[in-house]
Amino acid sequence: MNKKTSLMFLAFAVLAILSGCEPLTVFDSKGPHAETLSNTIILSIITMAFILLIVYALLAFMLTKYRASKTPDDYEPPHEEGSMALEITWTVIPIIIVTVLAFITVKTTTSVETTPEGYDNTEPLVIYASSSNWKWHFSYPEEGIETVNYVNLPTDRPIEFKLYSYGPITSFWIPQLNGQKYAMSDMVNTIHMAADEIGSFMGRNSNFSGRGFAQMEFEAQTMTQEDFAEWVADVKANEEPLTEEKFEELLAAEHVGRSSYSSTHLEFSPPPMEHSEMDMTDEEMDHSNMDHTTDSQEESKETHAH
């Protein structure tokens, strides 16, 4: 098999493999933040492809122009000095490219850390999304319900997921609605999103967290606000409340199916602190300092007593 035939066979093999792949959901955005991230990724790909095209074109030009030719045995090529203009050019151009991409990336990641544009005057729906080996718990404090391994969302309303973990670090990700963010055991992270269309979207843990990592998926179903209110009423009317004993069973189990409850675990198992001392108000800091002072005085008294 000659080289040309081998290359054609390789090209057909790659096309055959790619034809059986599922579409990349990250490029099929169904929300404003997901669309922002998708556009940034596409821009980066186009930029890199353009750079490769220029590099390969210059490579072909150099190979053709300066290819080896039949010259006498005593031929000596002329001595040529380096070009300052060329050296400056191929140094400055990469700096410009990296600077532009860095600026766009920082601007993009900053914009998706806030409420989506156009939803500033709408009260967000807050959902606490906590992970455990290897499942997801979704608590709706405003509605007083909780689900396991699935989450329902209303369209045309901003969503705030409060993320934390009852086990190892995980990463909450619904590719068609927003990027990923980590869920950890000692703090709460917030991820903002909104859904523009009704549909069913797959979410998952995108951070390796053990042997059950591959099965740690959940369904995010978006619906009209009327259907969402009807679903909430149905759960509150027909599902059992979530007790502390039942919640401990869920945490201990490795894999469970979908389930719904007419109460949340936030009452008896609250999330970790949502802010650090850097985010405390002056009044909170004063109370904290007073508590530390009181503790120090008590410790001092005990020391003198001994």
List, for residues 3-14, the tens digit of each pLDDT value: 555 555 665 555
Give pLDDT, residue 298.
46
Evaluate if residue 278 carries a pLDDT over 90: no
pLDDT at residue 16 above 60? Answer: no
What digits encode the pLDDT tens for the residues 208-260?
999 899 999 999 999 999 999 999 999 999 999 999 999 999 999 999 999 99
**For the chain, how many residues are written?**
306
Q: How many CB atoms lie within 10 A of CB 171?
A: 19
**Whether the predicted model's global pTM rises above the 0.85 cut:** no
Answer whether residue 291 shows pLDDT above 50.
no
Q: Considering only CA atoms, which of 155, 157, 142, 187 is closest in space to residue 169?
A: 187
Mean of pLDDT values over 263-277: 81
Compute the distance between CA of residue 79 and CA of residue 145 in angstroms, rounded to an integer. Answer: 80
Inter-residue contact 141 to 128 (CB < 8 Å): yes
User: What pLDDT score does 302 carry?
Assistant: 44
* Mean pLDDT (whole number) for 95-118: 95
Query: Stretch 271-289: mean pLDDT, rounded?
Result: 50
The pLDDT-based confidence of 73 (bands split at 50, 70, 90) is confident
Per-residue pLDDT averaged across 140-154, rounded?
98
Please state, in angstroms and rounded to a whole number, the distance separating the CA atoms of residues 107 and 95: 18
Per mean pLDDT, which range of 135-139, 267-271, 284-288 is the poorest? 284-288
d(CA 179, CA 26): 9
Domain limits, the chain = 125-261
- Give 27's strand partners: none
Amino acid 294: pLDDT: 43
What value does the mean pLDDT take over residues 117-141? 95
Domain spanning 125-261: CATH superfamily: Cupredoxins -  blue copper proteins (2.60.40.420)
- 71: enclosing H helix or E strand: none
Q: pLDDT class for 93, splitting at 50, 70, 90?
A: very high
